Structure 1
Amino acid sequence: MENIVLCQSCGLPLANEEVKGKEKNGLKNDLYCKYCYDDGTFTKPNMTLEDMKDIVSTQMKKLKLPIYTIQKAITILPSLSRWKNK
C-alpha cells in the first residue's frame, strides 16, 4: 500500500509538486499545500481548527464526496501537525 503524504494543515493529499506550498526562497514545502502555506507562512495564520473543519467540509461537499469520506477527513484534522498542540 502506498504511503500518502497529507498537508499537515488541511489533510489534502500532496500527490505532486504542484500542490505543495512554497517557502520564502521558492522551494517547495513537503508539509503543507499551496492553499494553506505560501511564501514561508500560513495563508490564514489566525485560522482555528474549527475554521479548518468548516472549510474542509464545505469544499468536500462541493465535490459531492460521500458523507463518510467528509467525516473521516474532519476526524483526522486534530492529528495533523498544525493542530496537534492547539
Structure 2
Amino acid sequence: MEKKFCQSCGMPLQTPEEMGTNSDGSKNDEYCCYCYKDGAFTSDCTMDEMIMHCAEFVSEFNKGSGLALTKEQAIAGMKEFFPTLKRWAAQ
C-alpha cells in the first residue's frame, strides 16, 4: 500500500480517523483531521509557521519512530519536505 501523508503537515495518514473531512462530511485522503475539517483548512498559516508548529511534536514523533531527531534536525528536514506537499508546492 502506498504511504499517504497529509499534504499540509506531513503526518502519515494510516487510519480513516486520521483523515480530514470534506464539506459534505466525507473523508479527505489528502489532509489530516488536524489540518482540514469540513472542507477547509483549520488554520491560516504560512509554511514556516506550520513547520514551527510541527516542530513542537518532535519528541512525540521520536517515540513512535525509534529516531532521535533534535528539533533543529527536524526543522531542517521539514524545510526540505514541506515544499513537496500539495498545500505548499504552489507557493
Q: TM-score, normalised by structure 2?
A: 0.81
CA distance in 2, matches of 1:7, 1:64: 15
Instruction: Provide the secondary structure at the position in 2 that maps to 1:67.
Output: coil
Q: Give the corresponding residue for 1:53.
A: 51
CA distance in 1, matches of 2:40, 2:29: 13
Give the direction of change, closer, same or farther, for the CA distance of 1:11–1:64 in structure 2 (3 Å limit).
Answer: closer
Verify: 1:32 aligned to 2:31, yes or no. yes
CA distance in 2, matches of 1:64, 1:32: 18
Report Cα offsets for 1:11-37 as digits up to 9, x if no partner: 000101000000111100010000000
CA RMSD, 1 decimal: 1.8
Q: Give the corresponding residue for 2:81.
A: 76
Q: Per-residue deviation at 1:85? A: 1.3
Q: Give the corresponding residue for 1:67.
A: 69
Give the direction of change, closer, same or farther, for the CA distance of 1:67–1:37 in structure 2 (3 Å limit).
Answer: same
Instruction: Provide the secondary structure at the position in 2 that maps to 1:8.
Output: coil
CA contact (8 A) 1:57 1:74 kept: no
Aligned length: 83
